Amino acid sequence: MERRDQWVGGAVLIVIGAGLLLGQLVGNAGQFILLGIGVLLLVLFAISRNPGTLIGGGILIGLGVVVIGAAFLRRGGGSSGDGASSGGAG
């Protein structure tokens, strides 16, 4: 095993622990799971230069952004208060 690959396992454990801590502190942290895994895969790509991690990371980050955006809009975070986003005609 190469020297730079020895700390990857520790980094993965730190990310998992940080995710579990975030889940305890923030009630709806489940929305960020896909985004977190995607970022982890991109970090692994930067370390290993394996193109599979880049492709998987890009896909998961895209899906994570969609999930977070949908949750944000569902909570009404995107409304401007003028009723334009309510979908009603009158």
- Domain segments of the chain: what residues? 28-77
The 3 state secondary structure assigned to the chain is CCHHHCCHHHHHHHHHHHHHHHHHHCCCHHHHHHHHHHHHHHHHHHHHCCHHHHHHHHHHHHHHHHHHHHHHHHCCCCCCCCCCCCCCCC
Q: Is the pTM of this model over 0.85?
A: no
As a residue count, the chain comes to 90
pLDDT digits (tens, 9 = 90+) for 42-80: 988 888 888 888 999 999 999 999 998 998 898 887 665
pLDDT confidence bin for 90, thresholds 50/70/90: very low
